Structure 1
Amino acid sequence: MKLSGLSRQITLSMMKIAIGSALITTFGSFFFYYLWDKYWPNYIPSDNYITPSWPEWIWIALTCIIVILLAVSLAIKLSQRILEPLSAVAEGMRKIAEGDLHFRANVGDRSLGEAALLVDDFNLLAEKLQRMTEDHAFWNAAIAHELRTPVTILRGRLQGLAEGVFTPDKTQFTKLLVQIEGLSRLIEDLRVISLMNSDELRINIKETNLAKEIKLLTDLSVNMLHEANQYVELNLTTQPVFCDPTRIRQALLAILENASKYALPGAIRITTQLKDGFCYLSVEDSGPGISLELIPHIFTAFRSAKDNPQSGSGLGLAVVAAIATAHKGSVSCRISKKGGTIIELGWPTNS
């Protein structure tokens, strides 16, 4: 059996003690009897004298003391090497319990494999805990910020209606419904991203006529795009694919809403194609495109396309990424040759 790490170090220490004790006893005995025979030969007991003489008792006691000191010395050194990483982990746990999430344990001797791995695992756990805590604080602040605006508007409108400032007519109720729909959409986006982060986003994969689903959604989005002076151009494959049609429509709607806010008036080109076992759904607008430094962050929650907190919640494209991931696929963003933005989802057709 091949030994490694801590078991190897313990075995080597035991071997050192055993070999050291044998060498001390053997060579020490030769040296003891050599000196005794040379300088005090008259005091050497006869062969019939079985009980050790007093010099031999002294030598036996001295040998035991030396062997014990050797064993204790090696045991102390080994225990110090073992306790060093364990003490570092214990100190790290105390620091983290006190709120210092930046503390990391350090192990200088990596020959104790298991102990070194323990320190590495502790540091990995501390890093994840720090990241989760920072994400939790960020999400709390971001959610509070995003919910504050629609809730404040609703509160102001309702208070105005209650105090008679606003006339309770159809126009006022329509404005209230718009705010409530926006709030509901924000809550749903937050729910989708939260489920995705906890690996609990469930999708219903089935054979779908994707072209029919996309046509249905674009028909419902005509008014939204018309207000932005935009129109849809479709280039769709009619071959059935496997996906969750509800989630794909949700992702496409988020992309279209993003385009209606930030893209120039003109065509919104929606294309689907099957290639190498994947289905690709791409949406291309007429520009002005996204700055290259923002593209790596475009699918991050609470980062709007214009990187402006007032331009939107920044959740839409994060929802798109979550839906693509749930389909075991991916989403990408790039600039077209015409200067527009292309958002493309891809997922396996045999899901």
Structure 2
Amino acid sequence: MRIIGLSGKIIVSMIAITLLAILLVFFTAYFFFYFMNVFWPEYIFEDNIIPKGPELIWVAGTVVIALTITINVAINLARHIVSPLNSVTKGIRLLAQGDLSARATSFHNAPNETNQLIRDFNMLAEKLELMTNEQKFWNAAIAHELRTPVTILYGRLQGLLDGVFTPDNHQFRSLLVQVDSLKNLVEDLRVVSLEESGHLNLKLQDVNLSTEIMSVVEFMKDSLAATQQYVQLDLIVNNALCDPTRIRQALIALLTNAIKHAVPGYIKIQTRSSQNSLTISVEDEGPGICEDFAPHVFTAFRRTSENDVSGSGLGLAVVAAIARAHNGEASCHATEHGGTRFEICLPYKQITQPKKPL
């Protein structure tokens, strides 16, 4: 019967090595005593150099014992080496069949290199499962977000075509609102996707940060007033190196988030700088973010509850993506008064204004 596999090869190799060692010892001793008998017969007590019965029994017993030990050692060695590899192989096979929950089993008595292979495989399988689940979640979330405006557009257009609705300015404005919602959703998806793939290109410029912030506040003034929210500005940093379009987009997302979720009151916008960083913060007066949701606040399509249908769930993900694209980060903190403070922390480069000639 042909022995196949790594275990069989290890066993055959160990047996062959042992047999060769035994034969080498036997024949070396045989020739040694032969030459001793020829050249130094006085050192040989017996003239017969052919092994007798007891000697043959001794040699045979030695071979049997050596082979038994070798086979046992080889089996144990093969088990220690092959069992972890078989676990990894089984996991790979299950992954290929679509079972992303498959993991390899660690062995305490396995070599360190083998256990490291198992850990790396399990880490790869875990990331693959996470990415696949995230992809499924994104596909479902995008389909859900697109369904509402597309359904409304289809219904209104069908109604206009059938004469159910009168083609007037009111209908056209309603259609334009849905188109604008789709446009914003596509743009938010584009920003988040480009940043995650490392292709969100920025147009860094020397800008007056205070001017950019005030322009966003002016743009959002009516929407803020409609929800009885008013902005307080505390702007210390004026000049900075950043992409003004993306910074305005992030500020609009933060203010829009406050309009949808914060209680009526004041929204405080601050800018601060240190030697190496620039911080833009937007702080509201409540009601705050629950502890369970706080770790997911910047994750796309995450909402505080299933009943929360305000917005697409992409606004804060866009803020975090823009911050990361600037080699910075976005963070969320609870305030002492029960509100929430969102911060965009960016690497800061002080822009030196040229001196006026005398």
Q: Structure 2: which amino acid aligns with 1:246?
A: T
Secondary structure of the equivalent of 2:309?
helix
Match of 1:6 in 2: none
Output the CA distance in 2 between the equivalents of 1:244 and 1:231.
26
1:317 matched to 2:311: no
Measured at CA, do residues 307 and 233 of structure 1 come closer, stay the same or move farther in structure 2, by a change above 3 Å? farther
Counterparts of 1:1-351 in structure 2, within 5 Å, are 46-47=46-47, 52-53=50-51, 55=53, 59-60=58-59, 63-304=62-303, 308-350=307-349
Output the CA distance in 1 between the equivalents of 2:164 and 2:252.
36
Shift of 1:64: 4.3
Shift of 1:227: 2.3
Shift of 1:209: 1.7
Output the CA distance in 2 between the equivalents of 1:86 and 1:229.
65
- Contact 2:224-2:230 at 8 Å conserved across structures: yes
Name whichever of 177-186 and 56-65 sits farther off.
56-65
Q: Deviations over 1:215-262 (max 9, x none)?
A: 222222222223223332222124322222221111100011111122
Secondary structure of the equivalent of 2:74?
helix
- Contact 1:303-1:313 at 8 Å conserved across structures: no
- Extract unaligned runs of 5+ from structure 1: 1-9, 34-43
Match of 2:36 in 1: none
Q: Structure 2: which amino acid aligns with 1:102?
A: S
> What percentage of residue pairs aligned between the two structures are identical?
50
Shift of 1:156: 1.0
Shift of 1:45: 8.7
Q: Structure 2: which amino acid aligns with 1:160?
A: G
Q: Report the number of matched residues.
A: 318
Secondary structure of the equivalent of 2:230?
strand
- Contact 1:45-1:53 at 8 Å conserved across structures: no
Secondary structure of the equivalent of 1:309?
coil
Measured at CA, do residues 196 and 167 of structure 1 come closer, stay the same or move farther in structure 2, by a change above 3 Å? same
Secondary structure of the equivalent of 2:343?
strand
Shift of 1:290: 3.0
Q: Given the two structures, how large is their TM-score scaled by the length of structure 2? A: 0.78
Output the CA distance in 2 between the equivalents of 1:292 and 1:128.
26
Q: Structure 1: which amino acid aligns with 2:116?
A: L
Note the aligned Cα RMSD (angstroms): 3.1
Q: Deviations over 1:253-272 (max 9, x none)?
A: 00111111222333322111
- Contact 2:237-2:272 at 8 Å conserved across structures: no
Q: Structure 1: which amino acid aligns with 2:201?
A: R
- Contact 1:210-1:240 at 8 Å conserved across structures: yes
Name whichever of 164-173 and 81-90 sits farther off.
164-173
Match of 2:37 in 1: none
Q: Given the two structures, how large is their TM-score scaled by the length of structure 1? A: 0.80
Measured at CA, do residues 339 and 68 of structure 1 come closer, stay the same or move farther in structure 2, by a change above 3 Å? closer
Output the CA distance in 2 between the equivalents of 1:156 and 1:62.
93
Q: Structure 2: which amino acid aligns with 1:113?
A: N
